[in-house]
Structure 1
Amino acid sequence: MTRLGDLERAVMDVLWDVVPGTSDGVTVREVADALDGRELAYTTVMTVLDRLAGKGMVQREREGRAWRYRPAASREAHIAQLMLDALDLGGSRDAALVRFARSVTGTEAEVLRAALGADAELTGLGSADGGRAPARPGVELTDRVDGPTGRRPADEAVER
């Protein structure tokens, strides 16, 4: 996955924040207007959106003479893919995962345990407690984060 430049990230933030999953998307003008504090030409925003479409980060659909844009994947899916890509940079994936796990807060560790427990339960690979880790209140573990391929990033990591 390609890292985003500052302007690309700002445009993606607009799309992630403004466009609900059921929306038809937004126009270049709407994105330009939402980029508060930046004096950008319409053509600049259009070029950034075109490049993001070429990278597979946004989907676009023709509406009359204009295009409507929406994110190809959620912000969470994008971040998860960045994390997986970072693990592929070299060295030991296991060592990097252990170091990461030791660096998270207690609350974040609970979320990871609950997610791993839920995945183990779904695959029948539960631990001694049946794969049931205590879920953090307010965190829905049945939600899946699908990457641009339509599969969960964790599934893609298993195939590597």
Structure 2
Amino acid sequence: MGARGFGELEAVVIERIWDRLEKTTVREVFDGLAAEREIAYTTVMSTMDNLHRKGWLERERVGKAYAYWPTLSREEYSARLMREALGSGGRSELVLAHFVEQMSAEESEGLRAALRKLTGGKRS
């Protein structure tokens, strides 16, 4: 499952599913999308089935329909994208240095907190 594997409509659908924070059906996603754009129910159903086949969604049968939920959170997906960028953007230490240079003070503190958590609070 490649992290960059979303088509345009797949990205819209997975965002809707992440926003719901609970299992959701094709009908629920369709109703939200249909309020904003012209789209067929079967298009949403096919898109969600494609996301399931690609490993981005899990599902279980609920009556005659399926309930879907994401296999990764939005944050886990973003972390996977960052990992791919770090691994494919040249020298990883330089990519990381340039990334850190662009962080705000708040983001930088968040990174420090995450590193402290991962290292058990040890200072380096």
Structure-2 separation of matches of 1:117 and 1:5:
36
Aligned residue number for residue 87 of structure 1: 86
Q: 3-state SS of the aligned residue for 1:88?
A: helix
- CA offsets, 1:98-146, max 9 Å, x none? 1000111111001001111121116xxx225xxxxxxxxxxxxxxxxxx
Q: Say whether residues 1:67 and 2:69 are aligned partners.
A: no
Unpaired stretches in structure 2, ≥5 consecutive residues: none
Deviating runs (4+, > 2 A) in structure 1? none
Q: Is the 8 A contact 1:2 1:55 kept in 2?
A: no
Structure-1 separation of matches of 2:45 and 2:7:
15
- CA offsets, 1:25-72, max 9 Å, x none? 111111100113121101100110011001111111112221111111
Structure-1 separation of matches of 2:39 and 2:59:
21
Q: Say whether residues 1:43 and 2:42 are aligned partners.
A: yes
Where is the helix percentage greater, Structure 1 or Structure 2?
2
The within-5 A match list for 1:53-132 is: 53-121=52-120, 126-128=122-124
Aligned residue number for residue 21 of structure 2: 19
Question: How many matched pairs?
Answer: 121
**Identical pairs, percent:** 43
Unpaired stretches in structure 1, ≥5 consecutive residues: 129-160
Given the two structures, how large is their TM-score scaled by the length of structure 2?
Answer: 0.90
The one of 8, 12, 15 aligned to 1:10: 12
Higher RCO (CA < 8 A, seq sep 6+): 2
Change in CA separation of 1:127 and 1:19 when aligned onto 2, cut-off 3 Å: closer
Q: For structure 1, which segment, 39-48 or 3-12, has the greater mean C-alpha deviation from structure 2 after superposition?
A: 3-12
Given the two structures, how large is their TM-score scaled by the length of structure 1?
Answer: 0.71
